[in-house]
Amino acid sequence: MRGFRDRGILYAGVLALGALAAGSGLSLWQPVQLRLLADLFGGYEAARRVHFIAMAGISLFVIVHLATSVSMRLARGSAQTYAFSNSGIGCAG
């Protein structure tokens, strides 16, 4: 069950990064109109850093998630292909 808890923490973390990216992105997009939001991040330059780090974290999550999904699909696919070919089902001969 530990893997499910770890996975939940990672998904919650990426949601938090998404909220940070959205908030900092809004403060970068309209820095004059949303000055209070930019000040919440510590100013325009700090909002830029927060946005960069949040987007890097989201990108890293997506890359690792895709790599894990592909590797699991390949591992399961090769095992299924091996079992299918040894069963005699669909084999000519």
User: What tens-digit pLDDT sequence spans the chain (93 residues)?
Assistant: 566 788 889 899 999 999 999 999 999 999 899 999 999 999 999 999 999 999 999 999 999 999 988 888 887 776 555 555 555 555 554
pLDDT computed for residue 7 by the predictor: 84
Number of domains in the chain: 1
Q: Assess if residue 3 is contained within a domain.
A: no
Q: Assess if residue 2 is contained within a domain.
A: no
Q: Assess if residue 92 is contained within a domain.
A: no
State the residue range of the domain holding 23: 13-83
Q: Assess if residue 8 is contained within a domain.
A: no
Q: Assess if residue 91 is contained within a domain.
A: no
**Which residues, at least 6 apart from 17, have a Cβ–Cβ distance to it below 8 Å?**
54, 57, 58, 61
**Which residues, at least 6 apart from 20, have a Cβ–Cβ distance to it below 8 Å?**
50, 51, 54
